[in-house]
Amino acid sequence: MARTLVEKLWEAHVVRELGDGWDLLHVDRHLLHDLSGPPALGELHRRRLEIRNPELTFAVSDHAISSAPGRNAAPGELGARLHGALKSRAAATGIRFFDLGEPGQGIVHVTGPELGLVLPGLTLICGDSHTCTNGALGALAFGVGTSESAHALATQTVRQRRLKQLRVRCDGALARGVTAKDLILHTIAALGAAAGAGHAVEFAGAAIRTMPIEGRLTICNLAVELGAKVGIVAPDDTTFAYLRGRPFAPPGAELDAACARWRELRSDESATFDRDERIDASQVAPMITWGTSPEHAVPIDAAIPTPASDAHVAALEYMGLEPGRRLAGTKIDWVFIGSCANSRLSDLREAAALARGRRVAKGVTAWVVPGSEQVKRAAQREGLDEIFRAAGFEWREPGCSLCVAANGERVPPGARAVSTSNRNFVGRQGPGARTHLASPATAVAAAVTGELCDARRL
Amino acid sequence: MQPFTRVTGAAAPLLLPNVDTDVIIRMDSLLGGGDLGRFALAALRFRPDGAPNPGCALNEPRFAGAPILLAGPNFGCGSSREVAVTALQAIGIRCVIAPSFGDIFHANCFRNGMLPIELPLEAVERLAAQAREGDFTVDLETQRVVPPSGVAVPFAIDGLQREALLEGLDEIGLTLRFADEIAAWQVADRAARPWVWRIPKAEL
């Protein structure tokens, strides 16, 4: 019987069927961060349970630590306790921990792929909904709650109900100046923020196949904003080339042997999906959100839509926007370039290319928070930090920072921010903060003009 | 885990779509410690100056401590934070009835004694129309919601999850009974997929 890629990976990891459509799935990689890691490890400690496979488990602080330059000795008041707890529990249980200031530290969904911890065909969990990011490498990756994370620490398995299958085929090619972020925001706006609920979503089509891994990571990162806890792209030569030489990926000949097997990881031609959608990538424009759900996204040159529901009215009121007016030209106060959606080296290069020789507009606070220590160092080797600083951006230390504002860093109440992150929820970047989601290019364009604008017009 | 069998009480209507877990509980409100209930759904319950928002049903005296929440589509979407469930419990909620849920929030409910019930939007709206007419009863054993009108609404629920809630089961304990099967699976997998297990001891 023909199967989808996700069905194949799922079935290959069933340790035991639990009945009623539930399976006990083996977990090949388990990543811990400073918010969900300490309580999960703490539960095992309290119950005097062993961690079954610490060698398959990796830990890093990202959510609650400060991103302030020079923070490595003092990760911030809020973050220090959680960072310390994660570090000491990891040391006590034999879990590899990547400390502040070391290569390997960074946003967990940026470091996993970068280190080669994520491989095609693996199951991977983390106590974080954006774990779906890792599906870009052909892994079955999804976020779990703290209880499930504790369950996986004790048993190296998770209890999961089988998912429905959704395919989004992105045909055609993106126009110049249009990025992976624009494509996924366009897709979420077209299908809705709940379209993927209960589903795994496979991204396919020419626009995905020709996309580098960094772009696929951005696409899969926002799968959960489409409602799907799993996003995946079938591995191909682009994937295999990306993995070669990564420190935790199989070396040389072992990688070749694994790649031969990984080539089989694709949906069968005749596999049936519960839902099959097509997106014409050539029609995608640079996108920006106007409201408080990622589905509230429109092309940057569009007008603010007329509200179609009470929820839209509430969103516009929160955002301080009037329907009918053009979004472009709206004054902004903050710019955040970072997060597991868009903080990789390619994102920073794209942003720096536009920032070079320009100046952040008066009254605008603009931050660049690299996704990882490795991204930070690579960017510094290329001089990107100097370009950003010369343009008036703050160059900061790697972590989640203003995306989730769990570390005391906040966009002030009422301030309008253009953010390369993935969530424009009410209060996400700070109580009362008004978030417009966009690509790094659109974020830089906003920073240097002081208003929402199409980066292609710079 | 606290079992769930039945609850009787007020059902507060909050039919906004896409109420995400950041709105249910802001991440940084956890780090200071203290009473979670003050922070639950704060962006909807309170105005920016901290005064109660008169437009939010949860602020009506009849809904104070309501054990049932009638919610809109995609309730609990977004972040996987499990404390979103315990924050709702801190203001007394034991059961959320909505047309659909965020997947991870939905799973987290069952691990914390919270019953999420999926009903079509029209059915939730019909229940919400009676919210100010009296108490509701939600019975997990009979799988029925009985609103003030007395006309019971049946609901479907996954058998395993129903049992877990009724019994207050400890999943880790249940799975540890399969430790031998897990071990056997891992032995076979080490041979089949050596690259999963031979992780280089990389110095970075």
CB contact under 8 A, B78 and A423: yes
Using an 8 Å CB-CB cutoff, list chain A residues near B26.
405, 427, 431
Q: Is B112 on the interface with A (CB under 8 A)?
A: yes
Domain of residue A240, residue span: 1-284
Across A313-323, average pLDDT: 96
β-bridge partners, A435: A417
Shared-domain flag, residues A258 and A326: no
Q: Is A306 on the interface with B (CB under 8 A)?
A: no
The answer, yes or no, to whether residue A385 has pLDDT greater than 80, is yes
CB contact under 8 A, A194 and B186: no
Using an 8 Å CB-CB cutoff, list chain A residues near B17.
194, 293, 309, 311
Across A37-49, average pLDDT: 97
- What is the rounded (10 degree) CA torsion for A217, A152, B117, B25? -70
Q: Is A189 on the interface with B (CB under 8 A)?
A: no
Q: Searching chain A, which residue's CA lies closest to the CA of residue B160?
A: A20
Using an 8 Å CB-CB cutoff, list chain A residues near B204.
98, 102-104, 115, 247
Q: Pick the closest to residue A262 from A235, A294, A228 (CA basis).
A: A235
Q: Which A-chain residues 319-348 have CB contacts (< 8 A) with chain B?
A: none
For chain A, the domain total comes to: 2
pLDDT value of position A213: 98
Using an 8 Å CB-CB cutoff, list chain A residues near B193.
121, 258, 261
CB contact under 8 A, B104 and A151: no
Across A390-417, average pLDDT: 96
Give the best residue of A53, A155, A376 to mutate against chain B (max B CB count within 10 A): A155
Shared-domain flag, residues A306 and A248: no
- Are residues A408 and A76 in contact, defined by beta-carbon separation less than 8 angstroms? yes
pLDDT-wise least confident of A276-290, A413-427, B38-52, B123-137: B38-52
pLDDT value of position B29: 78
Instruction: Give how far A411 is from chain B: nearest CA, Å.
Output: 13
Q: Is residue A9 part of a domain?
A: yes
In this complex, how many residue pairs, one in chain A and one in chain B, have their CB atoms less than 8 Å apart? 189
pLDDT digits 0-9 by tens, B93-142: 999 999 999 999 999 999 999 999 999 999 999 999 999 999 999 999 99
pLDDT value of position A77: 76
Instruction: Tell whether domain B6-195 is in CATH 3.20.19.10.
Output: yes
Shared-domain flag, residues A227 and A166: yes
Instruction: Give how far A433 is from chain B: nearest CA, Å.
Output: 11
Q: Three-class SS of residue B22?
A: helix
CB contact under 8 A, A197 and B103: yes
ipTM of this complex: 0.95
The single-letter code of the amino acid at A434 is R
- Choose among A22, A129, A404: nearest Cβ to B27: A404
pLDDT grade, residue B33 (50/70/90)? low
- Final residue belonging to a domain, choices A268, A284, A300: A284
Q: Is A258 on the interface with B (CB under 8 A)?
A: yes
Q: Is B29 on the interface with A (CB under 8 A)?
A: no
- Are residues B25 and B83 in contact, defined by beta-carbon separation less than 8 angstroms? yes
Q: Is A42 on the interface with B (CB under 8 A)?
A: no
pLDDT value of position A72: 79
- Choose among B22, B72, B103: nearest Cβ to A198: B103
Q: Is B50 on the interface with A (CB under 8 A)?
A: no
Shared-domain flag, residues A382 and A242: no
Shared-domain flag, residues A263 and A292: no
Using an 8 Å CB-CB cutoff, list chain A residues near B196.
28, 119, 122
CB contact under 8 A, B101 and A197: yes
- Which ranges of chain B does DSSP label H, i.e. alpha helix? 21-24, 28-31, 42-45, 83-90, 103-110, 121-129, 159-167, 171-176, 179-192, 194-197
pLDDT value of position A28: 98
Q: Is residue A169 part of a domain?
A: yes
The single-letter code of the amino acid at B62 is R
pLDDT value of position B32: 63
Instruction: Give how far B79 is from chain A: nearest CA, Å.
Output: 5
The answer, yes or no, to whether residue A50 has pLDDT greater than 70, is yes
Copy the structure tokens of residue B45.
């319950």
Shared-domain flag, residues A203 and A273: yes
β-bridge partners, A29: A124
Q: Which B-chain residues 115-154 have CB contacts (< 8 A) with chain A?
A: none
The answer, yes or no, to whether residue A322 has pLDDT greater than 70, is yes
Copy the structure tokens of residue B156.
């479907």
Shared-domain flag, residues A114 and A263: yes
pLDDT digits 0-9 by tens, A151-186: 999 999 999 999 999 999 999 999 999 999 999 999
- Final residue belonging to a domain, choices A284, A301, A320: A284
pLDDT-wise least confident of A10-19, A76-85, A117-126, A171-180: A76-85
Across A426-437, average pLDDT: 96
Please report which helix (H) or strand (E) contains residue B145, including its range. strand B144-146
Share of chain A above pLDDT 70, in %: 100
pLDDT value of position B31: 67
pLDDT value of position B48: 86
Shared-domain flag, residues A278 and A222: yes
Shared-domain flag, residues A298 and A279: no
Shared-domain flag, residues A219 and A333: no
Average pLDDT across chain A, whole number: 97
Across B137-157, average pLDDT: 98
Q: Is residue A458 part of a domain?
A: no
Q: Pick the closest to residue A116 from A284, A241, A4 (CA basis).
A: A241
For residues A293 and B67, give the distance between their C-alpha atoms in angstroms, rounded to a whole number: 27
- Final residue belonging to a domain, choices A284, A302, A327: A284
Q: Is B170 on the interface with A (CB under 8 A)?
A: no
pLDDT digits 0-9 by tens, A409-424: 999 999 999 999 999 9
Kindly report the CA angle at A146 between A344 and A150, in degrees rounded to 5? 110
Q: What is the CATH number of the domain that holds A379?
A: 3.30.499.10
Q: Is residue A114 part of a domain?
A: yes
Shared-domain flag, residues A299 and A263: no
Shared-domain flag, residues A250 and A395: no
CB contact under 8 A, A423 and B107: no
Q: Assign 3-class secondary structure to chain A.
A: CCCCHHHHHHHHCEEEEEECCEEEEECCEEEECCCCHHHHHHHHHHCCCCCCCHHHEEEECCCCCCCCCCHHHCCCHHHHHHHHHHHHHHHHHCCEEECCCCECEECHHHHHHHHCCCCCCCEEEECCHHHHHHHHHCCEEEECCHHHHHHHHHHCEEEEECCEEEEEEEECCCCCCCCHHHHHHHHHHHHCCCCCCCEEEEEECHHHHCCCHHHHHHHHHHHHHHCCCEEECCCCHHHHHHHCCCCCCCCHHHHHHHHHHHCCCCCCCCCCCCEEEEEEHHHCCCEEECCCCCCCEEECCCECCCCCCHHHHHHHHHHCCCCCCECCCCECCEEEECCCCCCCHHHHHHHHHHHCCCCCCCCCEEEECCCEHHHHHHHHHCCHHHHHHHHCCEECCCCCHHHCCCCCCCCCCCCEEEECCCCCCCCCCCCCCEEEECCHHHHHHHHHHCECCCHHHC
Q: Is A247 on the interface with B (CB under 8 A)?
A: yes
